[in-house]
Structure 1
Amino acid sequence: MRKETKGSRRQAAASPSRKPAPARRLQVTEPGELLEFLLVKLAPQGRNSIKSMLAHGQIAVDDRIEKQYNHPLRPGQTVTVSKTRSSASAPLVGLRILHEDDAVIVVHKDAGLLSIATAQETELTAYRQLTAHVRQADPKARIFVLHRLDRETSGVMMFAKSEQIQKKMQDNWKDVVTERKYVALVEGLVKKASGTISSWLKETSTLKMYSSPVANDGQHAITHYKVLRASRNYSLVELELETGRKNQIRVHMQDIGHPIASDKKYGAKTKPFSRLGLHARVLAFEHPTTGKPMRFETDIPKPFLSQFKEEAR
């Protein structure tokens, strides 16, 4: 028989009556950002502790869970600090939120995840997961597509949180988006260190894009490239889009005789990995409501770099 100690009796007696600590409600009296506000109000709690609380859904602004540390606050708002972690957040699969505010969501999409479903594809997508994410706070919330990445392309992409923001950004895309860079692992040694590829893109009945030999026949596409690393078998190329046409980079790399690794559809003969050798590395834009310049840069995928390590041995 288990011996009952004085301490265990005390613990047993306390457990049934234990109630969760009440949430703290803090009034905002001047403009600022959420993390800085919490650092002052919750002192001496540290920055990492408060970021953890944000990540676990313990902070709400006007009763809406807010996880972004730089969320802007206005006088008159109420910030609620809960002692219990939210269990409502479903984990995102193949997707990581880089930034979220009232106007846009910027994410990193893994290779293999669809951006948005087509009529034939109804599986898990970035769009579907982010819709579920915003509806945790507001069941009527929606997100709107601004641009897409191919299923096997990884990297930075962005969605709007209202139809008005979507229209405003898409109507002025060339002015709003100030930088859009990709990196690609392409087949062969690209001898010219940098260059520009310009062509007129058309689509076949089988939905494959190609460069028309006739000027002004199709959509004009311009890609600037710069070689970052090169070896006998592969080159790592940085690409900047002046236009954003469907499969533009894939067609243009094939056009110069250096198709993207693993891209059999557009002429690749090698498959060093199961994904496409294309990554959307940089996205910079002017914020649609604040006008503030925003820039997001991600790492070059390790499988791209590992091709050069192997050849160096």
Structure 2
Amino acid sequence: MSSFTPLDIVFQDDFLIAVNKPHGLLVHKSFIAADADVFAVQLLRDQIGKRVYPSHRLDRKTSGILLFALQEELNGVMQKQFMEAEVTKHYHAIVRGYTPDESEIDYALKRDDGVVQQAVTRLRTLDRVEAGFSVGKHPTSRYSLVELYPQTGRMHQLRKHMAHVFHPIIGDRPHGCNKQNKYFLDTFSMNTMLLHACYLSFKHPLTGDTIEIRADYQPEFSRMKQLLGFAESRPQVPIGQE
């Protein structure tokens, strides 16, 4: 049986609907997650009494904005916007170590079929903390709260890019740090990935209006943020969206 409460709807009109997906919820049925029997598509369909069509996807352990179309034809238009990088997406993540104030990660990624694709992610650091516990050889542990804006849309791009620059996202498996992940599981009972899709902006496919959607942190992200000692704040739109 489902352990998920009704989905938090953060945007809705006659054509599109967006929810704040919780950690651990699959978007739709997948052969790589045979253990799951609850999916965002079916939950939202049952909640609003209409068929819904996911315009993009989020990893199971990633929380945040998930956009659906309410008509299949319209969904093709939205999917095209995502594929052609016409949708602005911003994420927040808690990562290991102290990240630079701002940086750009330009590092090509290889798909499962061997094809190499250009991938670019912009990063801005929102806060840094030094926690009073030891995970490795040092007596304390350092973490950063970062804002990530992918300029391309490759699979697991943010996870792979943060691992590439040695600031893996806490809770990320298999790209993250096993030692950190085990410590957070054993000590804090934290078994998710601290990555949250907090902002989405796009042109409405029918009206042409600019749509901006924001989503607050899910409870587990907020709990870990508070536990580690980050400043109290809610997701904000980043400075500079050029």
Q: Deviations over 1:131-190 (max 9, x none)?
A: 2234x3xxxx4221211111111111101111211111222334642x210000001122
- State how 1:163-242 maps to structure 2 within 5 Å: 163-173=72-82, 174=84, 176-177=86-87, 179-190=88-99, 192-204=100-112, 218-232=116-130, 233-242=142-151
Tell me the number of residue pairs that the alignment of Structure 1 and Structure 2 aligns: 204
Corresponding residue for residue 43 of structure 2 = 129
**Aligned-residue offset at 1:253:** 0.3
Corresponding residue SS for 1:133 = helix
Aligned counterparts of 2:123 and 2:6: Cα–Cα separation in 1: 28
2:222 is the alignment partner of 1:302: yes
* Runs (5+) with no aligned partner, structure 1: 1-90, 206-211
Contact 2:129 2:229 survives alignment (8 Å): no
Corresponding residue for residue 197 of structure 2 = 280
Q: Deviations over 1:229-251 (max 9, x none)?
A: 11342111100011111110000
TM-score by length of 1: 0.60
Q: Whose relative contact order is higher, 1 or 2, with alpha carbons under 8 Å and at least 6 apart?
A: 2
Q: Percent identity?
A: 33
Aligned counterparts of 2:92 and 2:163: Cα–Cα separation in 1: 15
- State how 1:98-117 maps to structure 2 within 5 Å: 98-117=10-29
Structure with higher Rg: it is 1
CA RMSD in angstroms comes to 2.4
TM-score by length of 2: 0.76
Q: Deviations over 1:43-68 (max 9, x none)?
A: xxxxxxxxxxxxxxxxxxxxxxxxxx
Runs of 4+ in 1 over 3 A off after TM superposition: 119-122
* Runs (5+) with no aligned partner, structure 2: 131-141, 185-189, 232-242
**Aligned-residue offset at 1:287:** 1.3
**Aligned-residue offset at 1:95:** 2.0
**Aligned-residue offset at 1:94:** 6.0
- State how 1:1-313 maps to structure 2 within 5 Å: 93=5, 95-119=7-31, 121=34, 123-134=37-48, 136=49, 141-173=50-82, 174=84, 176-177=86-87, 179-190=88-99, 192-204=100-112, 218-232=116-130, 233-268=142-177, 269-271=179-181, 272=184, 273-300=190-217, 301-309=221-229
